[in-house]
Amino acid sequence: MANAVAGDKPHFVEPKLYIAKGGHAAPQVALTLDACAGQTDMRILNALVDNRIPATIFVTGRWLKRNPEAVAILQAHRDLFELENHGLNHVPAIDNQQEMFGLKTAGSQEAIQAEIAGGALAMEASAKVKPVWYRDATARYSDDAITLIHSMGYRVAGYSLNADMGASLMSAQVEKRIAGAKDGDVIIAHINQPSRVAGAGVVKGVFALKQKGFHFVRLEDVTESEKPVQSGV
C-alpha cells in the first residue's frame, strides 16, 4: 500500500466531469447510473426505455451476474444505453488508505488493476461490450490510480452533479437535485437500489428536465471535459 508523507493525511482525487453545452437550441446533460451490486431498479430502467431517454450505465461484474434480465433489456436497447466499467467487485481504486465511505479499498496498484481488468472481462463475457470509461466504487481515487487507469486505456468517469448520494437521499431531494441540473452537467445516480425511495426521485427529476426541454446524451456521444480536484481525508 502506498504511504502518505509523514505528517500528511492521505489524499484522494474526486474527478469532475462536464460535457459540452448543448447551445441555445437545447441544453444537454449526461445521465450516468451506477449498477454497483444487488438488483435493478426497474422504475428507472422502464422509465428510460418507455420515454426513449439515453443513459450511460456503469456496471460491475457482480451486478451483471445477478441481473441477466436487466442486462437483456440494456442489450435490446443499444441505441439508448451505453455500458461502461464499474469494476469487478465494486472496490475503490485507492491504495493509500484502508477504507473509503465504509468500503474496503483495493490497497495496491496490483489490486486496482485486477479490479478494472476483471470488470472489463465480465462485461465482454456477459454484455459483449468493450468499455472505454472507468468509474470505481465511491468515484474517488488515489493519485496514482488515475495514472494507472489512463495507462490501461480508460477515461476516468467523474461527474458534476451527485443526484442521490449513493441512493441515500429522499425522493424529493433527488428530484430537486436533478431538476436543478445545468447545461453540460454529468449526473450520477444509482440504478441498483429498488427498495429505496431515491429511485422514484431519479425518475421524477429526469422527467422534470425533459419538460424543461433538456436533451439527454450518453458519454460516448459528446465531447467531455475532465477536471480532477484534489481533496484531503
Q: Could you give phi then psi for residue 19, rounded to 5 degrees?
A: -110, 165
pLDDT at 226 over 60: no
Task: Select the more confidently predicted residue: 228 or 157.
Answer: 157
Mean pLDDT of 111-121: 98
Task: Select the more confidently predicted residue: 228 or 225.
Answer: 225
Model confidence at 9, in pLDDT bands (50, 70, 90)? low
pLDDT at 23 over 50: yes
Dihedral in degrees, nearest 10, Cα atoms 108, 112, 118, 124:
-160
Looking at the chain, the whole-number percentage of residues with pLDDT higher than 70 is 91
Summarize pLDDT for 173-224 with one digit per residue, the tens: 999 999 999 999 999 999 999 999 999 999 999 999 999 999 999 999 987 6
Mean pLDDT of 138-160: 95
Q: How far apart are the first and last CA of the chain?
A: 17
Judged by DSSP in three states, 129 sits in coil
Would you list the DSSP string of 13-63?
E--EEEE----SS--EEEEEEEE-SS---HHHHHHHHHTT--EEEEE-HHH
- Residue 166 C-alpha cell reads as 449513493
Q: Could you give phi then psi for residue 3, rounded to 5 degrees?
A: -110, 145
C-alpha–C-alpha distance, residues 25 and 52, integer Å = 20
Model confidence at 232, in pLDDT bands (50, 70, 90)? very low
Task: Select the more confidently predicted residue: 25 or 37.
Answer: 37
Summarize pLDDT for 38-81 with one digit per residue, the tens: 999 999 999 999 999 999 999 999 999 999 999 999 999 999 99
C-alpha–C-alpha distance, residues 181 and 171, integer Å = 16
CA dist 200 → 88, 114, 193 (Å):
27, 35, 11
* Cβ density class 185-219: b for 16+ within 10 Å, e for less: bbbbbbbbbeebebbbbbbbbbbbbeeeebbbbbb
Query: Does 3.30.70.270 match the CATH number of domain 11-232?
Result: no
pLDDT at 104 over 90: yes
Mean pLDDT of 4-17: 70
Task: Return the domain boundaries, the chain.
Answer: 11-232
Confidence (pLDDT) at 193? 97
Number of neighbours of residue 102 by Cβ within 10 angstroms:
6
Do residues 35 and 82 make contact, with C-beta atoms less than 8 angstroms apart? no
Q: Average pLDDT, whole number, for the chain? A: 92
E strands, the chain, where?
A: 11-13, 16-19, 28-35, 55-59, 81-85, 99-100, 103-104, 133-134, 155-156, 161-162, 186-190, 215-217, 224-227, 230-232
